[in-house]
Chains A and B, each alone.
Chain A
Amino acid sequence: MTEIESKLLECMKAVFPTIPEESLPDASVANLEQWDSLATVTIVALIEESFEIEVEPADLVKLTSIRNIVAFLKEHGAKTEVH
């Protein structure tokens, strides 16, 4: 697991505390009922805070699964030493 993945997992655990940790890496809007619009907003705020990046409104549609978020973070040069 990369540093970005590990840190993102911590964020996801904060948003979805009742979901087993092993299920989180495969989580997406499609397969996780609790991942609603409110959860998306919280995830966005957490990754902005934790990785020191800014998410543009147009990018929101890309952030629909953990894998997509990891790709997005890598693409935007997310910092990992912040958290």
Chain B
Amino acid sequence: MRLFDALKILQNTDATLPRFEVYLACGCTPLHLQTFLAAALQLRLPSHRAQVSVGMFGNLAGNIGQMTEGSASAGVVLLEWPDLDPRLGIRRVSGWNWKDLPTIADDARHMLQRLKRMLLAAAERQRVVVCLPTLPFPLLSSNNPATISPMQADVELALAEMRSQLLQHPSITVLKPAIFGEHIFDPAGELSFGFPYALSHASSLAKQIAEVVCIAPSKKGVITDLDLTVWNGILGEDGVDGVHWDLEHHAQSYGIYQQLLHALAKEGVLIAAASKNNAEAVQRIFTQREDLILKKEDIFPLVANWRPKSEIVGNILKTWNVGADSVVFIEDNAFELEEVGRKFPEMECIRFDPSPRFVMHLWQDLRVKFARRTVSEEDRIRSTSIRVMVESKQLSNDNVDMEEFLERLEATLKFDFSRNSGDERAFELINKTNQFNLNGVRLTDAEFRSYLAQEGSFLLTVSYSDKFGSLGKVSSLLGRIKGDEILVDSWVLSCRAFSRRIEFACLLALFDFCSAQQIQILWRRTDRNSYLQEFLSQLPGETIEASIKIDREKFRRACPALHLTTTSNTAKELEIQA
């Protein structure tokens, strides 16, 4: 992005949009980086007005302190070598005597310790992105510039130790920016204005920071073809033993692709196969070829028939219950790709090419699309829980009475009331669930934390398991206690947990949580929350201006049989007071 374009983006932004503030703490003058970052954030968050606040020149530690005290949604801390010791920059011209070099390493280590303490404190209040030095290490020692001096090695070791310790904190992300081009340091800018970056580098840096601050929702699944995509060869023609994915048969690219899909499956990414093939042959290869890296259990569903690809893909989407925009379709055949792309224009369709360069690019691309900071229990069991859902649906369709079906599930619910603003799964559920979503309001990390910092507020998470296995945390609810009433501001339930009366059990648990007499649900109709609307219509409450008030006793009388075993903590245990 050019500086001119960045300025125009900011000028053309609607000033009435809600503000999204990021604090940029750095030791240099932020200047154009501030402009580029605001513009890059603006492009990623068109529903908000991005604002980048900054502090004082030359005072990184002070700026981190100011960031911690402020109310920005996220903090970005940009480290450069002179922030660790001014002698590692060119604005101070003393202290490069060889005898001074060890003291530079010592001072840098002390400064890193101090910064680490400050960053950990800041992360208790907001999400923090730490950007490691991007500029070349200054040539202070007598070493050949192509080699690393002991002093540089010491400083880099201290930095690596700090980085590793920071990563232990769930609210800290460490960014190691990619460097593009040779011209990244601008000595004239550094000397004249204290701004050390070439414009192109500042622009690239800002873009990478914005991508980490405003993480796009990751995709949920990959639908892959099999012949000439997962393996080299046509199963129907070459037979089970005639298809390959290894070096020996010059087909390692297919092996790399399989390994990537296998790894993604283990991280909770849904993997399905859509193949125009003989179903029996496909089942046979997954049973007989033990050298397959992508295992049968990684794939659900595994569909092989002669129906149009778009039909197969449509059925897989229904099974997963996800939107086409959350899925990547990978296929070697241009015709099939076109056909699926026309039916599902929101779906990203990628043509598989076995060239090593393409596969390496695909690897990088899928890592970005499916990036997640941690792999949660819910991620690990996602594919299994979808199988469970499909199986239990089949069970419920087998002319079984609903009450009997629910009873046979042997379901248990665990209610956990807390004020834990670091609960990543609860936060994720609120921001990605649509069909059972009270009002469609998405929260930033800062808003989530701020809500739970209010007096009387609480977070309820609900975990579900039954005889088919666990679904993990399936529901998040944000509420406030006001006297003998509970106000519910946010409530979501994963679609994987529908039709089990969990929503009724949640309300019962809420009444019991603090012996509330009334629950007020603040809801709003959205384009996608029809399941929620249907649930609300069954409640015995009085609808007033987008809110429903539910009386304890009336609800108890109207509540259907639940067939659920529950455990819960209480408001008293949490010491939450109205």
Contacts and interface: CB of A to CB of B under 8 A. Distances in A.
The size class of the interface chain B forms with chain A is 10 to 19
Given A14-B11, A15-B7, A50-B4, A57 B199 contact: no
Given A50-B4, A56-B188, A45 B11 contact: no
Nearest to B200: A49
A11 B192 contact: no
Interface of A: 10-11, 14-15, 17, 38, 41-42, 45-46, 48-50, 54-57, 60, 83
Q: Top 4 closest A-B pairs, CB basis?
A: A14-B7, A57-B192, A17-B11, A41-B193
Contacts of A56: 188
Contacts of A55: 188
Contacts, number: 39
B191 interface: yes
B199 A49 contact: yes
B2 interface: yes
Interface in B238-260: none
Contacts of A42: 3, 7, 31-32, 35
Contacts of B2: 49
Given A41-B31, A45-B199, A49-B3, 16 more contacts: A10-B4, A15-B7, A17-B11, A41-B192, A41-B193, A41-B195, A42-B3, A42-B31, A42-B32, A45-B3, A45-B31, A46-B7, A49-B2, A49-B199, A54-B188, A57-B188
A27 B43 CA distance: 32
B343 interface: no
B467 interface: no
16 contacts: A14-B4, A14-B7, A15-B7, A17-B11, A41-B31, A41-B193, A42-B3, A45-B32, A46-B4, A46-B7, A48-B199, A49-B3, A50-B4, A57-B188, A57-B191, A57-B192
Interface in B1-27: 2-4, 7-8, 11
A49 B4 contact: yes
A38 B31 CA distance: 8
B32 A11 contact: no
A1 B2 CA distance: 25
Interface of B: 2-4, 7-8, 11, 31-32, 35, 188, 191-193, 195, 199
Nearest to A41: B193
Contacts of A50: 4
A21 B3 CA distance: 20
A41 B35 CA distance: 12
Contacts of B31: 38, 41-42, 45
Contacts of B192: 41, 57, 60
A14 B8 contact: yes
A57 B199 CA distance: 16
A46 B8 CA distance: 12
B403 to A, nearest CB: 67
